[in-house]
């Protein structure tokens, strides 16, 4: 899941970013309201953590502009002012929840999970491929009901592969989505990560799920088709 954090206080922003990345979210951040609004308008995020007091454009204005443009991304607002009026104002403008500073990271993470669950009740929160399951909210992966421990990047890569199940993904698509870099043909980072994922997911005796497409990239599929290279 991709989260946008719009917060101008550097320490708070990096505290939130670090914590969320440890919980395996992909995090982008913006240090003022205008940059945040531009990022939120140009990209698809699963949720936005939005500070109220921001340079250039305050959090309420960012929220109003997003909702006016039909953007329904769930928003968790942060503020130093915990008065009832502020809380009501944020909710009236379309915030999904509200958290007063200072807060414990655990509380932010719990509120975020809660708004993500709510916003995804109509959509699926579990992706499956064969007997592999990925819970998009709790970030747990299971194969044959056994939990698989994944690092943040391994999780992001697996989520991308599973969201695009049965589709061939080129190395450059994977690079841009998971690493946010342009593909460097000299780098073998994707192959290294795929190898690690395979070691965790494709155990001997189970049908392999990550297939190599020679010269192109990878495809997640529960049954191989002719032309796929299967490396276990």
Residues found near Ca ion in the complex (CB under 5 A): 8, 51, 53
Residues in CB range of 143: below 8 A, 6 or more apart: 131, 132, 133, 201, 203, 206
Considering the complex, what minimum distance in angstroms separates the CB of residue 53 from Ca ion?
4
Considering the complex, what minimum distance in angstroms separates the CB of residue 80 from Ca ion?
7
Considering the complex, what minimum distance in angstroms separates the CB of residue 104 from Ca ion?
18
Query: Whose CB is nearest to Ca ion?
Result: 53
Between residues 55 and 207, which has the closer beta carbon with respect to Ca ion?
Answer: 55
Between residues 38 and 137, which has the closer beta carbon with respect to Ca ion?
Answer: 38
What is the residue-wise DSSP string for 79-113? ES---HHHHHHHHHTT-SEEEESS--HHHHHHHHH
Residues in CB range of 204: below 8 A, 6 or more apart: 232
Three-state DSSP state, 66: helix
What phi and psi values does residue 162 have, to the nearest 5 degrees? -75, -35
Considering the complex, what minimum distance in angstroms separates the CB of residue 145 from Ca ion?
44
Between residues 10 and 18, which has the closer beta carbon with respect to Ca ion?
Answer: 10
Between residues 95 and 175, which has the closer beta carbon with respect to Ca ion?
Answer: 95
């Amino acid at each position: 899941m991709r989260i946008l954090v719009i917060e101008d206080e550097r320490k708070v922003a990096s505290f939130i970013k670090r914590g969320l990345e440890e919980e395996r979210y992909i995090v982008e951040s913006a240090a003022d309201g205008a940059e945040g609004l531009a990022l939120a308008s140009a990209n698809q995020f699963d949720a936005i953590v939005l500070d109220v007091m921001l340079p250039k454009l305050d959090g309420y204005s960012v929220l109003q502009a997003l909702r006016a443009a039909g953007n329904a991304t769930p928003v968790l607002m942060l503020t130093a002012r915990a008065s009832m009026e502020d809380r009501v104002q944020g909710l009236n403008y379309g915030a999904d929840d509200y958290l007063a500073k200072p807060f414990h990271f655990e509380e932010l993470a719990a509120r975020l999970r809660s708004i993500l669950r709510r916003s995804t009740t109509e959509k699926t929160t579990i992706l499956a491929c064969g007997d592999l399951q990925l819970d998009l909210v709790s970030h747990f992966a299971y194969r044959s009901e056994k939990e698989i421990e994944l690092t943040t990047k391994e999780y992001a890569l697996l989520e991308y592969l599973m969201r695009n199940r049965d589709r061939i993904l080129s190395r450059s698509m994977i690079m841009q989505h998971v690493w946010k870099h342009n593909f460097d043909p000299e780098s073998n980072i994707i192959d290294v990560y795929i190898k690690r994922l395979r070691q965790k997911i494709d155990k001997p005796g189970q049908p392999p799920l990550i297939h190599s497409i020679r010269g192109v990239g990878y495809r997640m599929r529960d049954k191989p088709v002719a032309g796929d290279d299967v490396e276990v």
